[in-house]
A and B are shown apart, each in its own frame.
Chain A
Amino acid sequence: MEYQWNWGVFLLPSAVNDGTYLDWMIAGLQTTLLLSLSAWVIALLLGAVVGVLRTVPHRGLSGVATAYVEMFRNIPLLVQLFFWYFVLPELLPAAAGDAFKALNPIAQQFVAAMVCLGFFTSARVAEQVRSGINALPRGQKNAGLALGLTLPQTYRHVMLPMAFRLVVPPLTSEFLNVFKNSAVCSTIGLLELAAQGRQLVDYTAQPYESFVAVTVAYLMINVVVMLLMRKVEVLVRVPGYLGGK
């Protein structure tokens, strides 16, 4: 039996009459982008804090930060996702758990996926921030302290402005990973790009077209993010450092 290619399938009205199959794909792409970008914001904020804490000369604080990183790095993303989606709402105090379950199912999936991806990625961001801070010449911290700045002031005005700029190039691959990892969230029923592709296979009997379209969409996200980050890298690079002017 010869396979009948039909790229026009995307323009057909969908089986449940809510637009075309192309609209499904676009909706999936939007969910993937929104999910990944909001998770990335969480990851940058948490990752910056945890990464800084890992470098401070205080056993308790750096211990907590280390435990945080090890925890999120040594449990598979899928297990973490099921934790946020199925387990945590049961364990929260009744009021909070009920508030979560009162959300509509799509919002529940999205919130769980966003928080999960955000925390998962933050541990990786924290490691990059830590190595950025550790890559600074030791004299910078000492000079700050010698000038009479307190340790927090030294971090705020001397070390972090440099470290955050050094950390941008290695963060590119983590940024790319957020988009790829977001595909895991299809397992809890979130209708992002991969899930829409799978749904189209069931509805249209045109599996090749649907999967090729989804794959190309991921490749395009990849290319756009890389071009964008290249621009950002040029903006923030530090003269005198490798890759600098």
Chain B
Amino acid sequence: MFGSYEFDWSSIPVSLGFLGQGLMVSLEITALAIVAGIVWGTLLAMARLSSIKPLAWAAAAYVNLFRAIPLVMVLLWFFLIVPKFLESFLGLPPGSDVRLASAMIGFALFESAYYAEIIRAGIQSVPKGQLAAAHALGMSYPQAMLHVVLPQAFRNMVPLLLTQAIILFQDTSLVYVSALADFFGAAYKVGDRDGRLVELVLFAGAVYFVLCFAASQAVRHYQKRLQTA
């Protein structure tokens, strides 16, 4: 069924170290963005549910804006435009390269909009009586949120947060547009250098598939256990 293409996989074993470094970069970006996304997303979700109207509107505008723009555009904004702005605005010395840090921040800001929506739904899934009871016990609003509402909300959200983490891990491949050497960037570089793009793209796809499929099966298993428990 295949054409006359002759496979040559020999570039992969000799480049495993480089590809492994790329994978580590992808995982680091994933971990950073998950932590930043959950923290910032929780604040956004609480702001959106706040009774202070301007705060709620601002949070809603933020979430809707980031969810309406392609991730590629966000990354290009933070890779090409924001650094220029920072340079002239902060008067950074010439030669200081803030582009990668900026792209990372853009990625985290983007993903936190998606986390904010999941967390908002999680907070709303906690019965109102819980907050009232916490207030009746004399807790302040922050105490009630921190000790009563959020712990329950997060427990309900765990499967969704994990599923979003898998999507986020796949999204990291798009930092390719910002020249950050993530796993896919590394695979592309090796394939391009050796003229073996076919093998390297197939290899990268297989690695992503194995990791994401295993993770999503684990989430599904965990979800089933939650439901039966």
Contact = CB atoms under 8 A, between A and B. Distances in A.
B5 A90 contact: yes
B80 A80 contact: no
Contacts, number: 117
B171 A83 contact: no
B205 interface: yes
B205 A194 contact: no
Interface residues of B, number: 38
B209 A74 contact: yes
Contacts of B166: 74
A164 interface: no
Contacts of A184: 70, 72, 174
Given A86-B198, A86-B201, A87-B201, A219 B69 contact: yes
A8 B197 CA distance: 43
A208 B213 contact: no
The SS class assigned to the A binding surface is helix
Contacts of B2: 91, 93
A187 interface: yes
A218 B2 CA distance: 40
B170 interface: yes
A194 B208 contact: no
B216 interface: yes
B212 A74 contact: yes
B27 to A, nearest CB: 14
Given A76-B184, A218-B73, A187 B176 contact: yes
Interface of B: 1-5, 65, 68-73, 76-77, 80-81, 84, 88, 166, 170-171, 173-174, 176-177, 184, 188, 197-198, 201-202, 204-205, 208-209, 212-213, 216
Nearest 3 Cβ contacts at the A-B interface: A183-B70, A74-B212, A76-B170
17 contacts: A1-B88, A75-B208, A75-B209, A75-B212, A76-B170, A77-B170, A79-B184, A82-B188, A82-B197, A87-B201, A90-B5, A94-B3, A184-B70, A184-B174, A187-B72, A215-B69, A218-B68
